[in-house]
Structure 1
Amino acid sequence: MGSASGFEYVVRADGSVVITHHGRRATVLRGGRAEKFLEEARTDPQGAMARWTGNYKHGNERTAKQHPRNRG
Structure 2
Amino acid sequence: MGKIDKRNRLAELPFSYRVNKANTVFLNYEGKQVKMIKGKDAEKFLKKINFAENENERQLIMAKITGNFKRGNEGNQSTKQL
TM-score scaled by length of structure 2: 0.61
Deviates more, 1:22-31 or 1:49-58: 49-58
Matched, 1:28 2:36: yes
Larger Rg: 1
4+ runs deviating over 4 angstroms: none
**Alpha-carbon separation, structure 2, partners of 1:17 and 1:6:** 16
Structure 2 letter corresponding to 1:15 = N
**Alpha-carbon separation, structure 1, partners of 2:69 and 2:32:** 17
Q: CA-to-partner distance for each residue in 1:43-64, whole Å, 9 max, x for gaps?
A: 02111100100144337xxxxx
- 1:1-72 alignment runs, 5 A limit: 4-42=12-50, 43=52, 44-58=57-71
RMSD: 2.1
Give 1:5 deviation, angstroms.
Answer: 2.3
Give 1:41 deviation, angstroms.
Answer: 1.4
**Unpaired segments of 5 or more residues in structure 2?**
1-10, 73-82
**Unpaired segments of 5 or more residues in structure 1?**
60-72
Structure 1 letter corresponding to 2:28 = T
1:62 aligns with none
